[in-house]
């Protein structure tokens, strides 16, 4: 994006310096239009698309009819009209786009190298008009243009996969219209050839892989679906090279949303082992976090046997791990990334390092479950499963009552969860999983642990709160196990390895407490001073040096570099379209996910980041849901062994209680690793019990109202607003919100 913005600025300045009658002005206007169009395709800002079309129109106005560049400029304008139709559905745009494409082809010689691409564009124009009007002649015309485009495209051309994908989509559309098996077979053939075209752009191949996998799955040809899905997942690593910055990777990864989960589900459909399914998930989810973890992975064994190679590796690794503003030169990052890839290959050829930075083996998976089972809940439209990892082995548990469409529908009401949601989570996930683990009653001694790794839209749900929380019931996750979360099994393994190898220095005794009672343009949080005051006393009683820096970006980041505990009480903001911009709001701006990614504390491994704010574990961009780009994971990547945060909005007063009880338990446990998850668990149970008492009290009030006023009392409006007819507030008719549910623990 940085290069694109800079390019647009250069084009603007170039045009400013070009007189109106200059022969190069038309070409420079087109270049500016191309820049605006590229930025529109990245950011989807309508003003950029409108600006692109305006530049194209002016460029063509200044271009003579017989000018050799006229065809290309007509092509650009046609693409602009097509994009505007896709965005706004403007009726005239498909016809206008086709007209520009046809004229561009008329002006293009038969042997011109751009002819094939212009034929593909004309085919796309016909297809858009077919999808609008349903005229079969347009669909047939689109297929004919695609065929001619591919005929003119050499076998090793990097655009060939994209043109094969277009032809495959045409055949698929005709199959959906007429049901002709020959068209379905042709669509599969084109998509497969596109997927297998190794000299084409990775993104084009990947798109075809997704499409052909779906076609095989719809035909229930699971063996073929498994083959294509596995191949497609393997391309993700090629799509997001180490040299790319986070924003660039995010943009690319929107193309593969849900692919890994579908691939894992399909693997289970063909009776592949749970390990094979987990491998696919690890290779296709959490790509951005995994790359940061790789750059900061422990290299102690390598250093002991190959010190010079390790030094060279660390030097290259650290260059890529620098904050983005320090490494502005894209060429430099690209070259460094290539050198690092080559060096990693060299390391893997050394005896004993064959699996350097590769996905965990089955034995490593089992070792990760030594403190308790790890349960991946895989969500796909094809099936849903619990992939259970225990130290004794792996198993796949089919969850027949869990449905992806139901999950997505329920996700829309999560910010106001009801008890019925917790009971549904118990019936579909909690009970079957705990039964399989033989955790069928409340523990009589020490509490067992479990780590949850939900996928897809299920990452928004509170699995730890699943159950019937009526008083006295033990049919809940909360009353049987201590729950923690992880974004991936690899992230959990690396956290465990860092704990075993990096010891906290005894002099690291700093607790950084940041409270934001008043935040510009946000609600007043009147309980924040009480929260900070109570935690300050608790931390001091744990022999920690309490630091309360100014709530400014530089001051907070500086304080975090040598802390043991970081506690933030204030407002969190979840960015709708760019998860890396989700943030904790400070006085002079924001502490973003991206800025926390760049904070490297792995040599100090601070104990805890407690984010007492709304939605610090929330992602609202559904196409990036599996990347786990939220404030909780950002703190983990920065180096904190434990992070406590929230899944959605939380109550100001309950935040004080949750934090205070958690820290009190940590104090009793001498700030051990186990004490953090245990502390939040005990706090959640206490708040849940308090909620039960409040519910019981309101039920009693309702019954008393019925006795004195009759059954009509139960028909009062469910509102917290008083009315002139009934001066009492409606709160006695409503159960209290589930304020104890959103708090979650990520860590070891």
Domain boundaries, the chain: 298-348, 375-485, 505-687+740-747
Beta-ladder partners of 482 = 449
> What digits encode the pLDDT tens for the residues 608-641?
999 999 999 988 888 888 888 899 988 988 889 9
Do β-strands 642-646 and 743-747 pair in parallel, antiparallel, or remain unpaired?
A: antiparallel
Distance CA 395, CA 203 (A): 34
723 pLDDT band, cuts 50/70/90, is very low
pLDDT at site 714: 54
> What digits encode the pLDDT tens for the residues 282-336?
999 988 777 777 666 667 678 888 888 888 888 887 777 555 444 445 567 667 8
Residue 511 has pLDDT above 50, yes or no: yes
pLDDT at site 717: 45
- Per the document, the length of the chain is 748
State percent of the chain over pLDDT 70: 91
> What digits encode the pLDDT tens for the residues 128-162?
999 999 999 999 999 999 999 999 999 999 999 99
pLDDT at site 504: 52
Q: What is the CATH number of domain 375-485?
A: 3.30.420
Q: Kindly state the tokens that stand for 513.
A: 């407490």
State percent of the chain over pLDDT 90: 66
Select the more confidently predicted residue: 416 or 518.
518
- Predicted TM-score (pTM) of the model is 0.87
> What digits encode the pLDDT tens for the residues 165-216?
999 999 999 999 999 999 999 999 999 999 999 999 999 999 999 999 999 9
The half-sphere exposure of 573 on its side-chain side, counting CA atoms within 13 A, is: 20
Q: Which fold has domain 505-687+740-747?
A: Rossmann fold (3.40.50)
Q: Are the C-beta atoms of residues 450 and 484 closer than 8 Å to each other?
A: yes
The pLDDT of 533-552, averaged and rounded, is 96
The pLDDT of 533-538, averaged and rounded, is 97
Q: Are the C-beta atoms of residues 396 and 387 closer than 8 Å to each other?
A: yes
Select the more confidently predicted residue: 633 or 538.
538
Average confidence score pLDDT of the chain = 89
pLDDT at site 506: 57
pLDDT at site 48: 97
733 pLDDT band, cuts 50/70/90, is very low
Distance CA 584, CA 574 (A): 9
706 pLDDT band, cuts 50/70/90, is low
Residue 722 has pLDDT above 60, yes or no: no
Expressed in percent and rounded to 5, the helix, strand and coil fractions of the chain are 55, 10, 35
Name the packing angle between helices 46-61 and 70-88 (round to 10°).
150
pLDDT at site 258: 92
Q: Which residue has the tokens 């969860």?
A: 417
Q: Are the C-beta atoms of residues 72 and 104 closer than 8 Å to each other?
A: yes
> What digits encode the pLDDT tens for the residues 563-614?
999 999 999 998 887 888 889 999 988 898 888 877 878 777 899 999 999 9
Residue 545's SS3 state is strand
């Amino acid at each position: 994006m940085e290069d694109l913005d800079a390019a647009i600025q250069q084009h603007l300045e170039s045009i400013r310096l070009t007189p109106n009658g200059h022969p190069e002005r038309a070409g420079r206007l087109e270049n500016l239009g191309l820049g605006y169009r590229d930025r529109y395709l990245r950011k989807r800002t309508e003003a950029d698309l409108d600006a692109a079309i305006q530049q194209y129109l002016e460029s063509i106005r200044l271009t003579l009819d017989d000018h050799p560049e006229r065809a290309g400029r007509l092509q650009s304008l046609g693409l602009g009209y097509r994009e505007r139709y896709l965005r706004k559905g403007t009726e005239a745009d498909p016809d206008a786009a086709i007209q520009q494409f046809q004229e561009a082809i008329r002006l293009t010689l038969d042997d011109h190298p751009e002819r094939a691409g212009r034929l593909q564009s004309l085919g796309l124009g016909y297809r858009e008009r077919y999808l609008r009007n349903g005229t079969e002649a347009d669909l047939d015309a689109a297929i004919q243009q695609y065929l001619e485009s591919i005929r003119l495209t050499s076998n090793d051309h990097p655009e060939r996969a994209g043109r094969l994908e277009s032809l495959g989509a045409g055949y698929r559309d005709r199959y959906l219209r007429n049901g002709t098996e020959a068209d379905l077979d042709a669509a599969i053939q084109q998509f497969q050839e596109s997927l297998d075209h190794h000299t084409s752009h990775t993104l084009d191949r990947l798109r075809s892989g997704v499409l052909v996998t779906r076609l095989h799955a719809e035909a229930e040809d699971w063996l073929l679906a498994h083959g294509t899905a596995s191949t497609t997942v393997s391309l993700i690593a090629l799509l997001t090279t180490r040299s790319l910055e986070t924003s660039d990777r995010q943009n690319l990864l929107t193309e593969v949303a849900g692919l890994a989960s579908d691939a894992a589900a399909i693997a289970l459909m063909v009776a592949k082992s749970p390990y094979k399914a987990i491998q696919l998930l690890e290779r296709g989810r959490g790509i951005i976090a995994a790359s940061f973890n790789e750059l900061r992975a422990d290299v102690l064994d390598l250093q002991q046997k190959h010190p010079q190679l390790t030094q060279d590796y660390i030097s290259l690794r650290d260059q890529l791990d620098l904050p983005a503003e320090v490494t502005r030169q894209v060429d430099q990052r690209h070259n460094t990334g290539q050198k690092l890839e080559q060096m990693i290959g060299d390391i893997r050829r050394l005896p004993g390092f064959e699996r350097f930075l590769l996905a965990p083996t089955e034995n490593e998976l089992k070792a990760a479950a030594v403190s308790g089972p790890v349960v991946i809940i895989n969500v796909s439209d094809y099936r849903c499963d619990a992939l259970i990892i225990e130290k004794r082995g792996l198993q796949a548990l089919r969850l027949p009552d869990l449905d992806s469409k139901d999950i997505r529908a329920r996700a829309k009401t999560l910010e106001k969860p009801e008890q019925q949601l917790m009971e549904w989570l118990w019936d579909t996930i909690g009970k079957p999983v705990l039964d399989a683990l033989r955790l069928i009653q409340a523990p009589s001694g020490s509490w067992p642990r479990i780590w949850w790794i939900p996928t897809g839209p299920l990452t928004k749900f509170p699995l730890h709160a699943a159950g019937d929380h009526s008083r006295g019931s033990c049919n809940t996750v909360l009353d049987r196990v201590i729950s923690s979360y992880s974004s991936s099994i690899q992230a959990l393994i690396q956290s465990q390895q860092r704990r075993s190898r990096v010891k906290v220095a005894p002099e690291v005794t700093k607790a950084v407490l940041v409270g934001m009672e008043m935040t510009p343009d946000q609600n007043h949080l009147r309980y924040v001073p009480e929260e900070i005051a109570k935690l300050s006393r608790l931390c001091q009683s744990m022999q920690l040096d309490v630091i309360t820096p100014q709530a400014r970006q530089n001051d907070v980041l500086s304080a975090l570099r040598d802390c043991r505990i970081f506690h933030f009480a204030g407002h969190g903001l979840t960015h709708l379209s760019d998860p890396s911009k989700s943030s904790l709001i400070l006085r002079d701006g924001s502490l973003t996910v991206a800025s926390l990614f760049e904070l490297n504390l792995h040599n100090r491994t601070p104990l805890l980041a407690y984010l007492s704010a709304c939605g610090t574990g929330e992602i609202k961009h559904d196409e990036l849901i599996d990347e786990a780009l939220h404030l909780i994971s950002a703190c983990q990547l920065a180096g904190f062994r434990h992070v406590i945060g929230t899944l959605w909005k939380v109550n100001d007063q309950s935040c004080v209680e949750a934090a205070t009880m958690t820290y009190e338990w940590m104090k009793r446990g001498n700030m051990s690793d186990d004490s953090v998850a245990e502390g939040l668990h005990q706090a959640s149970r206490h708040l849940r019990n308090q909620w039960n008492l409040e519910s019981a009290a309101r039920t009693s009030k309702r019954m008393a109202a019925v006795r004195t006023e009759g059954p009509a009392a139960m028909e009062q409006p469910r509102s917290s607003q008083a009315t002139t007819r009934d001066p009492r507030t409606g709160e006695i008719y409503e159960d209290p919100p589930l304020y104890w549910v959103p708090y979650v623990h990520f860590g070891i």
